[in-house]
Amino acid sequence: MDPQTLAEQAKALADQTQSLAALAADLAQQAQMLGAQGAMGQPPLIMLFAAFVLACFVGFLAAQGVASANRDKVKGALGVVASSLVVAAILAASPGGMSLSKILGLLALCLASEVLFGCAVASQRWLASPKDQNKTGEEA
């Protein structure tokens, strides 16, 4: 076997090794992310479902007897509670670097923050002007 053939084979082998190393690094990064999420103490599905059913009952009973005059204030509070979606948006926007999923996460975070502060300010304005609230509450 001549030296040139040997050199070409060695080069091909080096290229293969390099691509395998890149693949291994990619897999290690994914495993690290999965490991970090696994350490987050995710609750089992049955517990989540039980919590969901209880939350539905509590939410319905808490809002059932609300008078019309106060419904807008409760709707504002529900808007703030709904903006707890920021938690998922923060997770989506959490990785370093830039990717499409991260951009979507940042957009979602911006929208959820807007709703959080907007609904909080709306609730504060309603609380500050009870007469206006009573007037608009009858409409809604």
| Residues between 35 and 74 that touch another protein (CB under 8 A) | 36-43, 45, 48-49, 51-74
Closer to another protein by CB, 17 or 136: give it.
136
Q: Is 22 in the site for another protein (CB under 8 A)?
A: no
Tell me which amino acid residue 103 is.
I
Q: Is 20 in the site for another protein (CB under 8 A)?
A: no
- Within 13 A of 105's CA, how many CA atoms are on the CB side? 16
Q: How are the residues of the chain apportioned to helix, strand and coil, as percentages rounded to the nearest 5? A: 85, 0, 15
Q: Is 136 in the site for another protein (CB under 8 A)?
A: yes
Q: Is 21 in the site for another protein (CB under 8 A)?
A: no
Piece in contact with another protein (CB under 8 A), picked from 4-12, 15-23, 27-35: 27-35
| 10 DSSP assignment | H
Q: Is 87 in the site for another protein (CB under 8 A)?
A: yes
Give the whole-angstrom CA distance, residue 79 versus residue 117: 10
Task: Look up residue 60 and give its two tokens.
Answer: 């319905």
Binding to another protein (CB under 8 A) within 91-130 occurs at 91-96, 99-102, 104-127, 129-130
- Within 13 A of 78's CA, how many CA atoms are on the CB side? 10
Closer to another protein by CB, 1 or 61: give it.
61
